[in-house]
Structure 1
Amino acid sequence: MTSESPLLPAFPAFPGEMATLIRRFDWSTTGLGPLAEWPGYLRTSVDLILAVSTPIVLMVGRPGVLIYNDAYAATVAGDRHPGTFGVPVEDAWPEIAGWNRHVLDLGLRGESLSYEDLHFVLPRRGRPDDSWMNVYYSPVYDEIGTPAGVMCIIVENTDKIMAERGRAEAETELRLANERVSLALNAGAVIGTWVWDIPTNHFVADERFARAFSLDPAQAAQGLTLEQVVESIHPEDRPAIEALIAHTLRVGGPYRAEYRVRQLDGTYRWIEANGECQLDAYGLALRFPGVLIDIHERKQTETTLRDLTATLEQRVAEAVAERTLAEERLRQAQKMEAIGQLTGGIAHDFNNLLAGVIGSLTIVQRRLHPDTKAEVQRFLEAANHAAQRGASLVQRMLAFARRQSLDNRPTDINALVHSLEEMLRRTLGERVILETRLQPGLWSVLTDMPQLESALLNLAINARDAMPHGGRLSIVTGNLSLGADHGEDHDLDPGDYVRVEVSDTGTGMDAEVLSHVFEPFFTTKPIGQGTGLGLSMVYGFVKQTGGHIRLSSTPGRGTRFRLYFPRHADAAAAEAEAAALPHTPSGGGERILVVEDDPVVRMLTVEVLEDLGYQVLQASDGLEALETLRREPFDLLLTDVGLPGMNGRQLAESVRQVLPEVPVLFATGYAEGAETRAGFLDEGMEMIAKPYTIDVLAATLRAMLERRA
């Protein structure tokens, strides 16, 4: 059974076993409620843990219901998965129930915990498995800042602990090997002996020495020169050994050296040479006897130990870096999600207010007597212009919150930039040089063309303001393919993307400004010269289309924005926008059911439709609308999306069970699930954004009714 609502965009937004399990799990049995009703903080936290490869588990609510990612399922839950998924933590891990209750209680009080090298026995690969973990517990906050659960990030240190134990054992083995070497020397357990007569350079060695140096035993027994013996030493070791021999010949006394000698098969083996240079009464080197010891195994142990230590440090560094990155992404995601929730809610309320204001002004204009209208026309136009400016600000707020209604279509970005060039040159002025470098054969993307135009204009205006004395604005496009080893570097999944780069040579920004630049209402411009919504709109729009935005800037050297849009599989050219109708089409007596929970907006909509010549039925919610349907049919349903109880999309489905082909026009000031029209609308459905004008409403209704006829 699935708890996922078809009205929401795909959630979780990641592939993998756990994402599939989350969508299919019956969450109504856990106290969290259906998946479609999960709050934003929980959806964001789940998307975050699924996006990283570090084992992470969420303990949600007072019972600590477990939700975890694929890495946790594989390395921690092990053989208990999926039995531990979606159940309270104390039931999933009864053997440490008291520990988990303590951690959960502290987390719900807003406290964080961390432990290093905790020992656990985990059920993995069909048997108990000793494991060591670094465990980091942090509270997860809901939209109002109350701890609602605990996030646990786990870094397994089993390899590190085992490596340290292995290193200790290797060091012990090395010490014992040195002791054995000492005993071998004392007991005469050597692999060869030599005697070098220095004045005659006559080097005599036994058979074992000859085999160690890959020499002819007969020649070694008769005598060789030192130069013939040294030829068998590894070229990299030879200079140091020759220098050490020369030093010993000058001062006399003990000699000890470790080096590699060539074997008959061409490989090299480590040996240790121990001897003593005897001097005559005048201090001249006379005789140099010595023995060989095989230290190859000891050297191999040292090499293994050295490599193990280097690898251990690298693994620890990688684990720490991954944890730091995960924490930073979580903090940023929670901050932007919280701001987005607040901004989206405010925008929704303002849209309804502005719909009432604009609708009322329009009705007043239509009903005023011509003589009176001439006296107040300029005041009405000023009020309407102010309301439309308010609506534009609300749309920017919705863009940042990723709640605007997008009409995504296949788009050729090169063609769009070409069409904007003249407007951009006028906007930038004579002091700023516009440069475009557009890659031929640019891939198509699926996006809302007017919103993309607005985003590029916002970036251009910001660049212009950053170059008060002139400069250069560059717009560069290109295709980009990211493989599995590069996607993370761009915070993007591997795949094909279209990159749009907008850069300037302006004043640039410092690190403090960069950390806030995408937040709504943040601006460095003087009061009255900027709303602080331009870049937040660009950020929200790009994210809502499934893309990513990167920003780099250096004070005094300019700023560069890189926008990444997923490649659209259908390479068809973008559809042209429909031309606006030159007049307000009237109705032909058709019957329209208006469903709107805001009484002011509903009253104005009914008035407008009756003025246009339609018969109007009205309801304040979905249940009342269905009661109206039982009494009398209608020709078109005009409904708000964000209704109390049954939402507009659910109402449309219920109505179409009785009137299968009735046209449905959704009006939205922002509603969860209605942000992308392609995934929200079926055939015979359209969407109109609040606040709308009477001309747009009339034209849309007329077109829908004529298509049905």
Structure 2
Amino acid sequence: MLALVLGNRIADPLRRLAAQAAALGRGEPVEPVQTSIREVAESGAALAEASRTIRRREEDLRRLNDALETRVGERTRDLAETNARLIAAATGRERAEAQLRQSQKMEAVGRLTGGVAHDFNNLLTVVLGNLALARRRLGELEEHSPATERIGRGIDNAVEGANRAAILTQRLLAFSRQQPLAPEAVDANRLVAGMSDLLRRTLGEDIEIETVLSGGLWRAHADPNQLESSLLNLAVNARDAMPAGGKLTIETANAYLDEAYAAGREDVDAGQYVLICVSDTGTGMSPEVVTRAFEPFFTTKPTGKGTGLGLSQVYGFARQSGGHAAIYSEPGQGSTVKLYLPRLRDAELPAAAGTQAQPAAPGTGLHTGRGAVVLVVEDEEMVRDFAVTALEEAGCRTIAAGDGPSALALLSAHPEVTLLFTDVVLAGPMNGRELAAAALARRPRLLVLFTTGYTRNAIIHHGRLDEGVNFLGKPYTASALLERISRLLA
């Protein structure tokens, strides 16, 4: 607009100059020409200044536009980053909520299975114990007729069924993290190598077994017997996933789970672990199956082909040991189960547990306790009667009580008692640990052997036996009871 105005200003003097030139050509009188030329010069200078002003303003507008585009770009990136963070937070929250629901479900199932296992252990102690006593008495008969043989086979079958029930109960306790563990320093390489023959016999010739053992492997802190049981469970599961044969690989390695990995998993602590991987080349699992694989009683096998407790036992053992278990699988591509066990440092070496009794000296056998006086404390009458019968048949003298106060009174009345055999969970005002403490205060040299079918109690904390505790888990047989007592007395 400014250029248009200035253009008009210079056009008028130019038109007048042209008119004056035409008049001079006709010989007509004209006004002085200098005024028009000056006006043209002034207008031209003004026009040049206006052009420069326009260019400056165009440059300012361009810079403003560039700055605006830069700010819009930065704001767009900020909004995109904020949106990404919100999406990540929402995803993380959903994952955490799903894990919390899964954890709560597993905890609820664990409490239920723990209570069921406790009741079953008492019942199985009675069943297994009395079957063993009946089998022994049947074997003492001089007459061996077809009838006694049939009775013997029936007893043997009943014992086999009860033993299987005991194994299921143990797996329930493992899943609910209530089995008593005796962790120690474990060389995973040596343990895996030592299981090679057992695995080959168990899995059969169709399964190729390979072990990849890491050099410089740290020691793990775990119960070696339960670790062997877990690895055997994983190997059997892998075999079942390879019905036409395949390859099983067991690897060991040092591993570190960082904060980022632990943050997305409520039940994982960041730190150093000993890793044992069990991989197969089988059918694999879908994502839906993987999310439920550790649940008890969940199985993809046909009815009657599996209990659904193998992987749940592995999961419970890993968690109770302070470790972690994870499954990686794709349909048709096989599966890998990773078992993380806490690393044991030299400064953390545990003291020898009281339950790790040395074998009895040669010749002592089960008759070491003959003549010993044992105070049996058990609030379940059938279990108490079985324990008394088993001990008396082995030549022990027994005194029985159903609660703590009665046991203390009997202990005072019978100074000849040499060993206290007590359940931990007792009816009445005292539990077994409190009874033992009161008894030892009176008789410091008294031997004490605990038993229980439920491990959330006074002698087991965080799934581990207290130091110096002698323990016999339920269900137990007469021979197991006598062997443990004979070792204590020896």
TM-score by length of 2: 0.78
Of the candidates 125, 142, 146, which is equivalent to residue 371 of structure 1?
142
1:395 aligned to 2:179? Answer: no
Q: Deviation string for 1:444-501 (max 9, x for gaps)?
A: 1121112111111111111111111111111111001234344435663221101111
Which residue number in structure 2 is paired with residue 513 of structure 1?
Answer: 289
Counterparts of residues 134-173 of structure 1 (less than 5 Å)? none
Q: Deviation string for 1:239-273 (max 9, x for gaps)?
A: xxxxxxxxxxxxxxxx9xxxxxxxxxxxxxxxxx9
Asked whether the 8 Å contact 2:180–2:463 carries over to 1, the reply is no
Give the drift of 1:304.
6.3
Which residue number in structure 1 is paired with residue 431 of structure 2?
Answer: 647
Counterparts of residues 120-139 of structure 1 (less than 5 Å)? none
Quote the Cα distance in structure 1 between the aligned partners of 2:435 and 2:305. 44
Which residue number in structure 1 is paired with residue 410 of structure 2?
Answer: 628
Matched residue SS, 2:259: coil
Which residue number in structure 2 is paired with residue 492 of structure 1?
Answer: 268
Q: Which moved more, 1:502-511 or 1:628-637?
A: 628-637
Give the drift of 1:352.
0.7
Distance 1:703 1:638, change over 3 A: same
What letter matches 1:454 in structure 2? S
1:689 aligned to 2:473? Answer: yes
Q: Deviation string for 1:515-546 (max 9, x for gaps)?
A: 33222222222233222221121111111111
Give the drift of 1:658.
2.0
Which residue number in structure 2 is paired with residue 51 of structure 1?
Answer: none
Quote the Cα distance in structure 2 between the aligned partners of 1:577 and 1:631. 30
Of the candidates 92, 98, 115, which is equivalent to residue 322 of structure 1?
92
Which residue number in structure 1 is paired with residue 489 of structure 2?
Answer: 705
What letter matches 2:401 in structure 1? A
1:292 aligned to 2:64? Answer: no
Counterparts of residues 60-71 of structure 1 (less than 5 Å)? none
RMSD: 3.2
1:435 aligned to 2:210? Answer: yes
Asked whether the 8 Å contact 2:455–2:463 carries over to 1, the reply is no
Q: Point out which structure has higher relative CO (alpha carbons under 8 A, 6+ apart).
A: 2
Show structure 1 runs of 5+ residues with no match. 1-184, 187-254, 256-272, 277-287
Asked whether the 8 Å contact 2:96–2:264 carries over to 1, the reply is no
Give the drift of 1:305.
4.2
1:532 aligned to 2:308? Answer: yes
Matched residue SS, 2:275: strand
Give the drift of 1:589.
2.3
Which residue number in structure 2 is paired with residue 126 of structure 1?
Answer: none
Q: Which moved more, 1:559-568 or 1:396-405?
A: 396-405
Asked whether the 8 Å contact 1:395–1:404 carries over to 2, the reply is yes
Counterparts of residues 30-429 of structure 1 (less than 5 Å)? 275=54, 290-292=58-60, 295=64, 305-306=75-76, 308-368=78-138, 369-372=140-143, 375=148, 376-429=151-204
Give the drift of 1:626.
2.6
Distance 1:337 1:656, change over 3 A: same
What letter matches 1:473 in structure 2? L
Q: Which has the larger radius of gyration?
A: 2
Asked whether the 8 Å contact 2:252–2:277 carries over to 1, the reply is yes
Give the drift of 1:687.
0.6
Which residue number in structure 2 is paired with residue 672 of structure 1?
Answer: 456
Give the drift of 1:620.
1.1
Distance 1:433 1:577, change over 3 A: farther
Which residue number in structure 1 is paired with residue 22 of structure 2?
Answer: none
Distance 1:327 1:416, change over 3 A: same
Asked whether the 8 Å contact 2:184–2:223 carries over to 1, the reply is yes
Matched residue SS, 1:355: helix
Identify the structure with the greater helix proportion. Answer: 2
Matched residue SS, 1:371: coil
Distance 1:307 1:362, change over 3 A: same
Quote the Cα distance in structure 2 between the aligned partners of 1:549 and 1:678. 17
Quote the Cα distance in structure 2 between the aligned partners of 1:289 and 1:356. 102
Give the drift of 1:354.
0.9
What letter matches 2:343 in structure 1? R
Asked whether the 8 Å contact 2:357–2:487 carries over to 1, the reply is no
Asked whether the 8 Å contact 1:411–1:573 carries over to 2, the reply is no
Quote the Cα distance in structure 2 between the aligned partners of 1:346 and 1:304. 62
Asked whether the 8 Å contact 2:321–2:341 carries over to 1, the reply is yes
Quote the Cα distance in structure 1 between the aligned partners of 2:408 and 2:53. 102
Give the drift of 1:511.
2.7
Give the drift of 1:637.
1.4
Quote the Cα distance in structure 2 between the aligned partners of 1:630 and 1:315. 71
Give the drift of 1:590.
2.4
Give the drift of 1:652.
1.9
Give the drift of 1:291.
5.0
Which residue number in structure 2 is paired with residue 617 of structure 1?
Answer: 399
Quote the Cα distance in structure 2 between the aligned partners of 1:603 and 1:389. 24
Of the candidates 601, 624, 642, which is equivalent to residue 383 of structure 2?
601
Matched residue SS, 2:178: coil
Asked whether the 8 Å contact 2:256–2:273 carries over to 1, the reply is yes
Give the drift of 1:558.
0.8
Distance 1:274 1:444, change over 3 A: farther
* Identity, % of aligned positions: 44
What letter matches 1:358 in structure 2? L
Matched residue SS, 1:467: coil
Runs of 4+ in 1 over 4 A off after TM superposition: 273-276, 288-291, 293-308, 571-583, 674-679
Quote the Cα distance in structure 1 between the aligned partners of 2:182 and 2:464. 10
Asked whether the 8 Å contact 2:184–2:350 carries over to 1, the reply is no
Matched residue SS, 1:549: strand
Asked whether the 8 Å contact 1:592–1:637 carries over to 2, the reply is yes
What letter matches 1:525 in structure 2? K
Asked whether the 8 Å contact 1:413–1:444 carries over to 2, the reply is yes
Give the drift of 1:298.
6.6
Matched residue SS, 1:649: helix
Give the drift of 1:573.
12
Quote the Cα distance in structure 2 between the aligned partners of 1:292 and 1:585. 108
Matched residue SS, 1:552: strand
Quote the Cα distance in structure 2 between the aligned partners of 1:523 and 1:549. 18
Give the drift of 1:331.
0.4
Quote the Cα distance in structure 2 between the aligned partners of 1:537 and 1:448. 14
TM-score by length of 1: 0.55
Aligned pairs, number: 425
Give the drift of 1:650.
2.5
Matched residue SS, 2:142: helix
